[in-house]
A and B are shown apart, each in its own frame.
Chain A
Amino acid sequence: MSNTAGSDLLKTFKLKTKQQELLIRVSILCLVYILAFITRLFSVLRYESMIHEFDPYFNYRTTLYLTQNGFYDFWNWFDSESWYPLGRIIGGTLYPGLMVTAALIYRLLHFLRFAVHIREVCVLTAPFFASNTTLVAYFFGKEIWDSGAGLVAAILIAVCPGYISRSVAGSYDNEGVAIFALLFTFYLFVKAVNTGSLAWGLASAFGYFYMVSAWGGYVFIINLIPLYVLVLLITGRYSMRLYVAYNCMYVLGMLLAMQIRFVGFQHVQSGEHMAAMGVFFLMQVFYFLDWVKHMLSDTKLFQAFLRITVTCAVAVGGVALGVGTVSGYISPWTGRFYSLLDPTYAKDHIPIIASVSEHQPTAWSSFMFDFHILLFLFPAGVYFCFKRLSDATMFIVMYGLTSLYFAGVMVRLILVATPAVCLISAIAVSATVKNLTVLLRSKNKVVQTGSTKGTSSAKASSKASLDQSQPFQKNGAMALLFGAFYLLSKYATHCTWVTSEAYSSPSIVLAARGAHGNRVIFDDYREAYFWLRQNTPPDAKVMSWWDYGYQITAMGNRTVIVDNNTWNNTHIATVGRAMSSYEDEAYEIMRSLDVDYVLVVFGGVTGYSSDDINKFLWMVRIGGGVFPVIKEPDYLVNGEYRVDKGAAPKMLNCLMYKLCYYRFGELVTEYGKPPGYDRARGVEIGNKDIKLEHLEEAFTTSNWIVRIYKVKPPNNRW
């Protein structure tokens, strides 16, 4: 009774194939959406809902300001708490997209009466946008290949470590929303090129506007799209669709982008944006020539005309560029841009860029770490793209190849390459699996038809005779299919492992295993910042290396001399000089900068290796780059950097050494080792009798990771 009722119910719910497919697709997308979100929550579960690392703290602080004081105050904010005594015009020197997005989400939630804290919104912004990116990847994949490839792309990008590294919960950084904006812009542009619709072109211009508001990486878009258009022109794929898409996107996108104060008139004035403008004019010339060709019936005449026009156009363009550059209207390329094109440029010329670990050239292992099987699937995908060449596949191939080059130049740009790699690999996976399943299915069909219908037609029998080799093919296809699933499941486990082990540490709170296997937490950073916040005068100025600037202002709420927005190299060099000078000289510098407290990070007790002593040579280099009194060889012994007895005398008596190791010589850090044994470097320190004259210890955290010194006022002269 109930059985029949159940089957009736099933019958009424029986769906058509199309509906079934839709249902499966939607449910897969929903699951991927959720998966992309929850796989990024490891850090919240392991630690807590907190902002990670360095730059996110600045973003969090500005978002807080935005929600508390409103948009206009935020836009006009002059921050006197950083870059003392210069200050920083926040509204004009940041990409506001991230903060505005988070503030809007916050407002919306509060409008819907969800009383969440702004911190939770900030922490979860990156995972939320990662989820949205999977949807964009699906539609993009659908646009360039088919919906199967779109689904695979969504799944691949949902868990790809290259993207997760920048979008775990708490990693509240521009990249979190920028990758979504980047992929969305590209998708809309490709859609515009495919359809030739003005509406899609407009949408891509708005996507570009959002990208410009969110991240400096928009320069990649404004150079890649012209490059793509140029390639299409050269390969003879010029069409009206392309003309509409590019012109609409470029003109509107440029005008919109000028509304961002930090970008301003760069689209017409900076060398990095000139390629787009050149291609824009080239497009017009092309269109004009097309029109002339249409009007003129004489081929010879047209050839002559073409020659003259092209020469004139190139000459005018060249002269304009030359005049612009010489007159200074068009600014030359920036150092960062150069360092992308020439990986050795930063090392020789801009130590401040080279000193950041994420600006280093990428090692092969980190490619493997971040892409895993995608690294092998990528060439296969490129092959499939070339096999079915269209405007869209050409775009994705160009995006993939250029971004992969940039990923090789800088570690952090792996992030930009990730969507392209995922999409191209998805094409490979989807096309392969589709081919294999088609093979399996067709074989089955033949067998089925053969068995069910006793009398087979001549056509069928000939086909069967042709498919003599198909048992092998079938087995081979099965094996390949299983291989593919094995690889993909390996990919999934690898991604989960990497996310949980490598990319989910907030780096503010350090965790280690204790002697009994228990989890030991070093919360020293926050201990020190909170101490600063509560127990120093509100107008105290803190000098530290620039890495900790954002954290001190956000968590310690105190004024800093330099911070992670490294806009003034001289100021940073001054701090570097103070840290690498003798105490008396450093005292003069600190007095002139009005410094009240000096903060150093020291890992000698806990064995925490990314501390100031290990960063010290960069301080020397950056300081020496501006002040030639500081010479790197003074701190080295035979080209070797050491802190033990054999260290250079200048090293043993410079301010940084003194502040890090003050009274460290009295402490026994490890059983069986002499007092003053530095666990981060594994040596006994060379100068155990450190006397401070102008500074006094104000606070040291429980594991000695952060040490804060107070700068004494000058002695009375009588």
Chain B
Amino acid sequence: METPIRSRETLSLTLFSLLFFICKSSPLHHLLISNAERRIDLSSHIVKVYLTLKIENAGSTPASEVLLAFPPAQVDHLATVEALATKGKRKKTTLVHLEVKPTELPDAPNDAKYFTIYLASPLNSGESTTLEVLYMLTHSLEPFPAEIAQSESQLVFYRDNALILLPYHVRQQTTFIKTPSNKVESFTRVEPTNRAGTEIKYGPYEDRPPYSFSPILVHFENNSPFAVVEELVREVEISHWGNLQVTEQYTLVHAGARHKGVFSRVDYQSRPSLNGVSSFRYLLARLPPRVHSVYYRDEIGNISSSHLRTDSRKSELEIEPRYPLFGGWKATFVIGYGLPLQDFLFESSNDKRYLNFTFGCPLLETVVDKLTFKVVLPEGSKDPSAVVPFPVEQHLETKYSYLDVVGRTVVVLEKKNVVPVHNTHFQVYYTFKPIFMLAEPMMLASAFFLFFVACVAYLHIDLSIRK
């Protein structure tokens, strides 16, 4: 096992250094990183990486863009990349969000993928600035052994680079890896490497060329719930009579090491600390405040185990699937609730209305592989448009609900690989004439009126016949 890794390591190292010499002529190299620090948090199943880069412009022309590089395997699991710039002098620093966009470069070495950070103000030659980059990876912890019994705890692999993959020369860099517990089975050493408690430190490494790569493997215990929602469909239905009905359909799976062999209830009940440590029974959903008529059910009926706690700022719904979820076990369910409309629907200046709602998944610490967000606008609304702070796929649908004649316009937003960071607000704008609100009551009223008229007519005709 060890030898092939070593050989691959050296091979890739040489490859990258070769590539570096080839790409030397590219326009990127006039930037250099004077100091880089990376902190990798492995305590849950979402890998969070905090990168602090101190960038110097060594070239002669001002630079306004900074590139980040990722190996192709990591890009598929990349849920979000955010960049922050520190502004101002000491103590009075403020953080500014910078725009980050995926970029294609023609001569990327080893299919590396790039993200471009657009600096707020161009970096003149000789100046330096500090960037904070946060990115998250999902499905990046590989359970090993892949199948465990009820009494075993879950061990996972994490693969990464001991050095920070950057298309720039890095003068000094350090990487810290935080594991959830002291139990670390093994980790690759790239000297200087040392481990203290729950932290493994790689580095500091001095003067590394661009695209330096040195694969590492950390094998450690992680019993945090690997709650993954394979598919989530959130539907928000707007009723201008004052209610917002939210329906969320979940396909939840435990994405950790698969459960093997028996499930013994007597062990699970009597020795909870030793049994099924990687399984989970509860999940917490954070819902907006003033939520009402909450329900929690699945295809075969109501699930009677859930608790709702509400206060003025938030509502917490503790849901318990029908059975504890062990590795590989699935559960599908639906959560629904109503919300007061005035908290979420506003009028914009140009005679339009907009819904302001959070994207993302209300369950804490979960990954959503595919999220479909449907905003059902009231019947008769026109010109829908959605404003979402990150790229999503959009299209329109039509839905028929109670007493609909022409159907309701549905704005469908789809996004893959959603993590809790995506719980930000987005807006859906549309125009709606309040007169349409009266259509359905009028229909009902006229139907009843006609019915009674028919009854009266029938009675009178009936009597006249008998006379």
Which chain A residues have a beta carbon within 8 Å of chain B's beta carbons? 18-19, 22, 48, 50, 113-115, 508-509, 521, 523, 526-527, 529-531, 533-535, 555, 663-664, 666-667, 696-702, 704
Find out whether the CB atom of A663 lies under 8 angstroms from the CB atom of B264.
Answer: yes
Find out whether the CB atom of A526 lies under 8 angstroms from the CB atom of B266.
Answer: no
Bound CA–CA A281/B331 (angstroms): 63
Known: A114-B402, A523-B304, A533-B299. 20 other contacts (CB 8 A): A18-B463, A50-B301, A50-B302, A113-B400, A113-B403, A114-B403, A115-B402, A508-B301, A523-B303, A523-B322, A526-B322, A527-B322, A530-B323, A531-B323, A533-B300, A699-B263, A699-B265, A699-B323, A700-B264, A702-B323
Q: Which residues of B contact A534 (CB under 8 A)?
A: 329-332
Q: Which residues of B contact A667 (CB under 8 A)?
A: 266, 269-270
Q: Is B274 an interface residue (CB 8 A)?
A: no
Bound CA–CA A521/B262 (angstroms): 26
Given contacts A534-B329, A697-B264, A699-B263, A529 and B300 within 8 Å (CB-CB): yes
Q: Is B5 an interface residue (CB 8 A)?
A: no
With both beta carbons as reference points, the residue of chain A lying nearest to B295 in the complex is identified as: A48
What's the least CB distance linking B154 to chain A, in Å?
Answer: 18
With both beta carbons as reference points, the residue of chain A lying nearest to B399 in the complex is identified as: A115
Contact residues, B299-357 vs A (CB, 8 A): 299-305, 322-323, 328-332
Find out whether the CB atom of A48 lies under 8 angstroms from the CB atom of B302.
Answer: yes
With both beta carbons as reference points, the residue of chain A lying nearest to B263 in the complex is identified as: A699
Find out whether the CB atom of B265 lies under 8 angstroms from the CB atom of A704.
Answer: yes
Given contacts A113-B403, A114-B403, A697 and B262 within 8 Å (CB-CB): yes
Identify 21 residue pairs between A and B in the complex whose beta-carbon atoms are under 8 Å apart, listed by A's number.
Answer: A48-B302, A114-B402, A115-B401, A508-B301, A521-B304, A523-B305, A523-B322, A526-B301, A529-B300, A530-B298, A530-B300, A530-B331, A531-B322, A531-B329, A533-B300, A534-B330, A534-B332, A663-B264, A667-B269, A697-B264, A702-B265
Q: Which residues of A contact B305 (CB under 8 A)?
A: 523
Q: Digit string of B388-419 for contact with A (CB within 8 Å is 1, else 0)?
A: 00000000000011111100000000000000
Find out whether the CB atom of A527 lies under 8 angstroms from the CB atom of B302.
Answer: no
Q: Which residues of A contact B301 (CB under 8 A)?
A: 48, 50, 508-509, 526
Q: Which residues of A contact B303 (CB under 8 A)?
A: 523
Among B263, B269, B322, B402, which residue has its beta carbon within 8 angstroms of that of A698? Answer: B263
What's the least CB distance linking B467 to chain A, in Å?
Answer: 10
Q: Is B261 an interface residue (CB 8 A)?
A: yes
Find out whether the CB atom of A113 lies under 8 angstroms from the CB atom of B323.
Answer: no
Find out whether the CB atom of A696 lies under 8 angstroms from the CB atom of B261.
Answer: yes
What's the least CB distance linking B269 to chain A, in Å?
Answer: 8
With both beta carbons as reference points, the residue of chain B lying nearest to A696 in the complex is identified as: B262
What's the least CB distance linking B431 to chain A, in Å?
Answer: 24
Q: Which residues of B contact A697 (CB under 8 A)?
A: 262-265
Select the residue from B304, B329, B332 with max chain A CB neighbours within 10 A: B304
Bound CA–CA A530/B463 (angstroms): 59
Among B300, B400, B402, B405, which residue has its beta carbon within 8 angstroms of that of A555? Answer: B300
Q: Tell me the number of A-to-B contacts counted with CB atoms below 8 Å.
A: 78
Q: Which residues of B contact A702 (CB under 8 A)?
A: 265, 323
What's the least CB distance linking A43 to chain B, in Å?
Answer: 12
Given contacts A535-B330, A702-B265, A115 and B300 within 8 Å (CB-CB): no
Per DSSP, chain B at the interface is loop
Q: Which residues of B contact A19 (CB under 8 A)?
A: 463
Q: Digit string of B263-296 for contact with A (CB within 8 Å is 1, else 0)?
A: 1111001100000000000000000000000000
Given contacts A523-B304, A535-B330, A666 and B266 within 8 Å (CB-CB): yes
Find out whether the CB atom of B404 lies under 8 angstroms from the CB atom of A113.
Answer: yes
Q: Which residues of A contact B298 (CB under 8 A)?
A: 530
What's the least CB distance linking B460 to chain A, in Å?
Answer: 10
Bound CA–CA A698/B259 (angstroms): 11
Bound CA–CA A50/B330 (angstroms): 23
Q: Which residues of B contact A523 (CB under 8 A)?
A: 303-305, 322
Find out whether the CB atom of A663 lies under 8 angstroms from the CB atom of B263.
Answer: no
Q: Which residues of B contact A700 (CB under 8 A)?
A: 263-266
What's the least CB distance linking B322 to chain A, in Å?
Answer: 4
Q: Which residues of B contact A527 (CB under 8 A)?
A: 322-323
Bound CA–CA A60/B272 (angstroms): 39
Bound CA–CA A557/B322 (angstroms): 16
Among B264, B331, B402, which residue has its beta carbon within 8 angstroms of that of A113? Answer: B402
Bound CA–CA A535/B326 (angstroms): 10
What's the least CB distance linking B12 to chain A, in Å?
Answer: 40
Q: Which residues of A contact B266 (CB under 8 A)?
A: 663-664, 666-667, 700
With both beta carbons as reference points, the residue of chain A lying nearest to B402 in the complex is identified as: A115
Q: Which residues of A contact B332 (CB under 8 A)?
A: 534
Bound CA–CA A702/B459 (angstroms): 61
Q: Which residues of A contact B269 (CB under 8 A)?
A: 667
Find out whether the CB atom of B331 lies under 8 angstroms from the CB atom of A698.
Answer: no
Bound CA–CA A115/B323 (angstroms): 31
With both beta carbons as reference points, the residue of chain A lying nearest to B443 in the complex is identified as: A113
Bound CA–CA A62/B300 (angstroms): 15
Select the residue from B262, B269, B305, B463 with max chain A CB neighbours within 10 A: B262
Contact residues, B230-287 vs A (CB, 8 A): 261-266, 269-270
Select the residue from A534, A535, A696, A704 with max chain B CB neighbours within 10 A: A534
What's the least CB distance linking A555 to chain B, in Å?
Answer: 5
Bound CA–CA A700/B298 (angstroms): 20
Select the residue from A114, A508, A526, A529 with max chain B CB neighbours within 10 A: A526
Bound CA–CA A353/B230 (angstroms): 47
Bound CA–CA A19/B463 (angstroms): 9
Among B262, B322, B400, B403, which residue has its beta carbon within 8 angstroms of that of A530? Answer: B322
Bound CA–CA A530/B402 (angstroms): 30
Bound CA–CA A604/B463 (angstroms): 67
Bound CA–CA A334/B246 (angstroms): 55
What's the least CB distance linking A706 to chain B, in Å?
Answer: 11
Q: Which residues of A contact B263 (CB under 8 A)?
A: 697-700
Bound CA–CA A50/B332 (angstroms): 18
What's the least CB distance linking A661 to chain B, in Å?
Answer: 12
Given contacts A527-B322, A529-B300, A535-B330, A698 and B403 within 8 Å (CB-CB): no
What's the least CB distance linking B112 to chain A, in Å?
Answer: 40
What's the least CB distance linking A119 to chain B, in Å?
Answer: 9
Q: Which residues of B contact A529 (CB under 8 A)?
A: 300
Bound CA–CA A663/B267 (angstroms): 10
What's the least CB distance linking A542 to chain B, in Å?
Answer: 16
With both beta carbons as reference points, the residue of chain A lying nearest to B324 in the complex is identified as: A702
Find out whether the CB atom of A115 lies under 8 angstroms from the CB atom of B400.
Answer: yes
Bound CA–CA A699/B322 (angstroms): 12
With both beta carbons as reference points, the residue of chain B lying nearest to A525 in the complex is identified as: B300
Q: Which residues of A contact B463 (CB under 8 A)?
A: 18-19
Bound CA–CA A113/B270 (angstroms): 52
Select the residue from B300, B303, B328, B330 with max chain A CB neighbours within 10 A: B300
Select the residue from A521, A699, A701 with max chain B CB neighbours within 10 A: A699
Find out whether the CB atom of A526 lies under 8 angstroms from the CB atom of B323.
Answer: no
Bound CA–CA A48/B323 (angstroms): 20
Q: Which residues of A contact B401 (CB under 8 A)?
A: 113, 115
What's the least CB distance linking B286 to chain A, in Å?
Answer: 25
Q: Which residues of B contact A531 (CB under 8 A)?
A: 322-323, 329
Q: Digit string of B154-191 for contact with A (CB within 8 Å is 1, else 0)?
A: 00000000000000000000000000000000000000
Select the residue from B302, B330, B401, B463 with max chain A CB neighbours within 10 A: B302
With both beta carbons as reference points, the residue of chain A lying nearest to B462 in the complex is identified as: A22
Q: Which residues of A contact B328 (CB under 8 A)?
A: 535
What's the least CB distance linking B227 to chain A, in Å?
Answer: 15
Q: Which residues of B contact A113 (CB under 8 A)?
A: 400-405
Q: Which residues of A contact B400 (CB under 8 A)?
A: 113, 115
Q: Which residues of A contact B300 (CB under 8 A)?
A: 526, 529-530, 533, 555
Bound CA–CA A667/B323 (angstroms): 20
What's the least CB distance linking B403 to chain A, in Å?
Answer: 5
What's the least CB distance linking A61 to chain B, in Å?
Answer: 11
Q: Which residues of A contact B329 (CB under 8 A)?
A: 531, 534-535
Q: Digit string of B439-467 for contact with A (CB within 8 Å is 1, else 0)?
A: 00000000000000000000100010000
With both beta carbons as reference points, the residue of chain B lying nearest to A709 in the complex is identified as: B262
Closest 8 CB pairs of A and B: A700-B265, A534-B330, A527-B322, A48-B302, A555-B300, A697-B262, A50-B301, A696-B262
